[in-house]
Amino acid sequence: MKRKLMAAAIGVTAAFAAPLAFTSEELNFDAYRQMLADGNPAELFEMEGEELWVTARGPKNATLEQCDLGLGPGVVEGAAAQLPRYFADTGKVQDLESRLMHCMETLQGIPSGEIIGGKFRQGERGKLASLVAYVVTHSKGKPIAVDVSHPKMQDMYAMGEKVFFYRTGAMDFSCASCHGEDGKRIRATHLPNITTNKGAAEGWTSWPAYRVSNSQFWTFQHRLWDCFRQQRTAEPVFASDVTIALSVFLAAKSNGYEAQWPGVKR
């Protein structure tokens, strides 16, 4: 008798669960993204960034055309695919945003503090995002090629890896809590498994991106900032070491994968 009841219960569960539960495939938004990719509004930010690159601005009334993103002054083509990297002139590992911030300060005289103390999508930090859109678009389709041979890059990678597993905050989350296994979701959102190269590349090569749901262009710094917000930590400082370390960790694991920049997200 008991066995029969059990079987009936299982039957009911299946009948309810099967037609209603969504599989991972049904809840992935690849087709939607493909449709959006043709008219990705990130292009509007790219246009603004292209204009900003050649516009004389700031207390020094200079353009950014002498900015060295790692491939020599003024070279934008392919530069983002090789960032973050170690820069001898600053003695630091810098990602695209911290490097652009350095150029804005040294060439144009726009103080970094204004950007670090600012807000995303506003003021000079907003302009920086448009510059990011411009620069990353010139690495679209290029393979990620981050050089981790410098000891400071290796150190940042090691720190980034530790941070990835660092459980802290009000809900005990680390990056790995959500991004440590294949095929998982939060609500309907697919989560790449960043412990694998493929999963890391899924994230790194698709951000910065335009978010259709809020009509905003988000840089990688912005993306990480919101990850930490949802992780319930304190607020990460713009372009701080933790953001650079995690960026090096993700970028280096993405080596060889093709940049899809700028991405488009729902």
Q: Which residues contribute to the annotated binding site for substrate?
A: 223
86 or 228: whose CB is closer to other proteins? 228
Q: Work out whether 237 is an interface residue with other proteins (CB under 8 A).
A: yes
Secondary structure of residue 180 in the 3-state scheme: coil
Residues 6+ apart with CB under 8 A from 168: 174, 233
Contacting residue, 188, 198, 256, 266, with other proteins by CB under 8 A: 188
| Residue 121 CA from chain centroid, whole number | 15
Binding residue count for other proteins, defined by CB under 8 A: 59
Q: Please report which helix (H) or strand (E) contains residue 87, including its range.
A: strand 85-87
> What's the token pair of residue 114?
């204004």
Name the one range near other proteins by CB under 8 A: 64-72, 74-82, 95-103, 162-170.
162-170
- Please name the amino acid found at residue 192: P
Q: Tell me how far, at minimum, the Cβ of 266 lies from other proteins, in Å.
A: 12
Identify whether 227 is a catalytic site residue.
yes
Residues forming beta bridges with residue 93, ordered by sequence position: 86
Strands 209-211 and 263-265: parallel
Q: Work out whether 245 is an interface residue with other proteins (CB under 8 A).
A: yes
Name the one range near other proteins by CB under 8 A: 82-90, 99-107, 135-143, 242-250.
242-250
Q: Tell me how far, at minimum, the Cβ of 104 lies from other proteins, in Å.
A: 21
> CA triplet 188, 121, 209: central angle to 5 degrees?
40
Q: Work out whether 266 is an interface residue with other proteins (CB under 8 A).
A: no
Residues 6+ apart with CB under 8 A from 224: 236, 243, 246, 247
Give the burial string for 94-126 (b: 16+ CB within 10 Å, else e): bbbbbbbbbbbbbbbebebeebeebebeeebbb
59 or 183: whose CB is closer to other proteins? 183
> What's the token pair of residue 169?
């905050």
57 or 71: whose CB is closer to other proteins? 57
Q: Tell me how far, at minimum, the Cβ of 189 lies from other proteins, in Å.
A: 8
Q: Work out whether 185 is an interface residue with other proteins (CB under 8 A).
A: yes
Q: Tell me how far, at minimum, the Cβ of 126 lies from other proteins, in Å.
A: 13
Phi, psi of 97 (to 5 degrees): -70, -45
Q: Which of 227, 242, 255, 257 is catalytic?
A: 227
Interface with other proteins by CB under 8 A: which residues?
Answer: 9, 13, 16-17, 20-22, 24, 38-39, 41, 43-44, 47-48, 158-159, 161-163, 165-174, 176-178, 180-181, 183-188, 191, 195, 212, 215, 228-230, 232-237, 240-243, 245
**Residues with catalytic annotation?**
227
